[in-house]
């Protein structure tokens, strides 16, 4: 009796498990789930692709007759590189970054024409096409100075082209721009030449200023010489002699303050000797300073008398 009960329980358990598995398989076959950030397109064996986008959640389908295809509608990044020619025939390497997603309402049409891998089939070709078309309108230098305008033009045209395939572009940006090695060397050489030209302009301007300063200086000296010549013609050579006497007095005063200069009187001429203070101290002893003071006083007195005599002679005329 106990063995029969155990066999019955085992049979019921297996039957329940089989039924549960069958129900699970039927549920998976009849129902399908669309997760968040996804949409589904339903294919019917009799009607073809159903012209309706199925949203998130669990949905019913007829097994074998209907099959769902899941689309990821999240925005996805794409990066493309292209080598394009500019208006002045320079080759430029550009890198473009695109953020794209499918048009949700047009998913059945996208599935019919492009399939699930729609972005890989469309975006590389239209990106390369638009980049080449836009870059060919600008010179190599303008691509740098007007980069914002180039990016805006690429964005506008690429959005329009992607719209033909029911693809929405959230953002389009040029992330990298580089020139060939030859062009980079040419640009560097041009910059060096411009710096040299600016330096040459500075040198020329400096020379012109120095020339003007020399002309103004020469004009001033000429005017001064003319004034002195006019005064000399009016009063004779007395002014020159007076200036020479004044200069002699300044020289005598300067020499008088020096301990290394000695005045030696002579017959009709005077002599100044430059002596070392130590040697004079040894030769003359403690009377050196007294002798120098007396000699300088005599020399200055002679110069003053000559000046007075000259002024007296000029006054006669």
Domain boundaries, the chain: 21-72, 76-179, 185-234, 236-316
pTM score, two decimals?
A: 0.55
**CATH second-level architecture of 76-179?**
2-Layer Sandwich (3.30)
Q: Residue 75: how many CB atoms within 10 A of its CB?
A: 13
Report the C-alpha gap between 233 and 242 in whole angstroms: 15
Whether residue 118 contacts residue 126, with contact meaning beta carbons closer than 8 Å, is answered with no
Tell me which residue of 218, 213, 210 sits closest to 226, measured CA to CA. Answer: 218
> What would the two tokens of residue 311 be?
């002024």
Strands (E), 75-220: 76-85, 91-102, 167-179
pLDDT, one tens digit for every residue, the chain (317 residues)? 456 666 665 655 666 566 555 656 556 788 889 999 999 999 998 999 999 999 999 998 888 899 999 999 999 999 999 888 898 888 899 999 999 999 999 999 999 999 999 999 999 999 999 999 999 999 888 888 888 899 999 999 999 999 999 999 999 999 988 887 777 676 677 777 777 788 888 888 888 888 888 888 877 777 777 776 776 666 666 666 667 777 777 777 776 666 655 555 555 445 454 544 444 444 444 444 544 455 555 556 566 556 555 555 544 44
- Whether the CB-CB separation of 173 and 95 falls below 8 Å is answered with no
User: What pLDDT score was predicted for residue 304?
Assistant: 57
Backbone angles phi, psi at 208, to 5 degrees: -65, -40
Which residues make beta-bridge pairs with 81? Answer: 95
pLDDT of residue 134: 93
């Amino acid at each position: 009796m106990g063995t029969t009960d155990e066999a019955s329980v085992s049979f019921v358990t297996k039957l329940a498990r089989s039924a549960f598995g069958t129900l699970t398989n039927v549920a998976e076959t009849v129902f399908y789930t669309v997760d968040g950030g996804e949409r589904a397109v339903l294919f019917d064996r009799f009607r073809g692709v159903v012209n309706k986008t199925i949203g998130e959640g669990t949905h019913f389908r007829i097994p074998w007759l209907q099959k769902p295809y899941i689309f990821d509608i999240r925005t996805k990044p794409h990066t493309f590189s292209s080598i394009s020619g500019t208006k002045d025939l320079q080759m430029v390497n550009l890198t473009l970054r695109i953020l794209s997603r499918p048009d949700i309402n047009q998913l059945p049409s996208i599935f019919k024409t492009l399939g699930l891998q729609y972005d890989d089939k469309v975006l590389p070709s239209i990106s390369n096409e638009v980049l080449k078309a836009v870059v060919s309108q600008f010179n190599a230098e303008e691509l740098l100075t007007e980069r914002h305008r180039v990016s805006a033009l690429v964005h506008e045209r690429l959005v329009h082209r992607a719209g033909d395939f029911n693809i929405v572009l959230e953002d389009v940006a040029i992330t990298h721009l580089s020139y060939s090695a030859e062009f980079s060397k040419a640009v560097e050489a041009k910059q060096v030449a411009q710096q040299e030209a600016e330096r040459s302009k500075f040198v020329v301007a400096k020379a012109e200023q120095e020339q003007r300063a020399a002309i103004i200086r020469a004009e001033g000296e000429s005017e001064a010489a003319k004034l002195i010549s006019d005064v000399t013609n009016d009063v004779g050579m007395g002014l020159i002699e007076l200036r020479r006497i004044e200069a002699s007095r300044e020289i005598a005063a300067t020499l008088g303050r020096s301990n290394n200069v000695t005045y030696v009187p002579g017959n009709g001429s005077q002599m100044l000797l430059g002596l070392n203070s130590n040697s004079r101290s040894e030769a003359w002893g403690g009377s050196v300073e007294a002798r120098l003071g007396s000699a300088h006083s005599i020399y200055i007195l002679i110069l003053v008398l000559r000046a007075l005599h000259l002024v007296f002679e000029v006054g006669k005329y």
